[in-house]
Amino acid sequence: MSGARVHGLFAIPVMVSEAEYALDGEARKVIDTQETLPNRGGSRYSKNTYILALPELQGLKNFLQTQLEIYAHDLLKINRETKFCITQSWLNYSERGAQHLTHYHPNSLVSGSFYIAGDICPIRFQRRDPILGRAFMFRYDEPNIFNGGAFDVPNEKNKAVLFPSAVEHSVVPNPSGQVRISLAFNTFFKGPAGPREDLAELIIN
């Protein structure tokens, strides 16, 4: 690069929590006995899509809420007058060969995943458009953060992964005979957003 300066613009923040949360026996019993529905890619999801409202999962909900606040206020530096809260939440069950096809989460700002059991597979985040646009396809000598079309972020048991809901992502097929279980959630905000003096203020109660 001959000393050239390169600026990486507009980074997409994907956060893996520093803290861990270990589920107790009552929580695992609830997770292991949920009624499920089929999903795309061969996986299944819990019929209860507000799973964190269950009293047995209150501790996990508190942990995830704390990670959401770290993401919104400590990482993105959003003013703390704006409160972020978990909305919908559900469990995912993937048996051998099942996967999560490429998708994003509408009607949400920040989404998250919490790995519970089974084969540990990364979440694959995908760039919607190639860095130089869709008109041409190039051959790259090596992948990097500028030309890459997909990036794998490792899952870690008992940790949360948080990311902007609009970013497309997927999970590869489960290669093992053990059911892979994870919890996913969406979020929204309450309170003020936008500067009043710019005529852009929005208050959601």
pLDDT tens sequence for the chain (205 residues):
678 999 989 999 999 999 999 999 999 999 999 999 999 999 999 999 999 999 999 999 999 999 999 999 999 999 999 999 999 999 999 999 999 999 999 999 999 999 999 888 899 999 988 889 888 889 999 989 999 999 999 889 899 999 999 999 999 999 988 999 999 999 999 999 999 999 999 999 9
pLDDT recorded at residue 130? 86
pLDDT recorded at residue 131? 87
pLDDT recorded at residue 186? 98
pLDDT recorded at residue 1? 61
Q: Which CATH number is correct for 15-120+156-193, 1.10.150.310, 2.60.120.620, 3.40.50.300, 3.10.129.10?
A: 2.60.120.620
pLDDT recorded at residue 129? 87
- The SS3 of residue 123 is strand
- Strands (DSSP E) found in the chain: 15-16, 36-38, 44-46, 83-94, 100-103, 110-117, 123-126, 150-153, 160-164, 168-171, 180-193, 202-204
Tokens 């942990």 — which residue?
A: 63
pLDDT recorded at residue 3? 82
Alpha carbon distance 46, 31 (integer Å): 9
What residue ranges do the domains of the chain occupy?
15-120+156-193
CB 13 within 8 A of CB 76: yes
Q: Could you say which DSSP state residue 181 is in?
A: E
Tokens 């929005």 — which residue?
A: 202
Bridge partner list, 125: 151, 169
pLDDT recorded at residue 48? 98
The pTM (predicted TM-score) of the whole model is 0.94
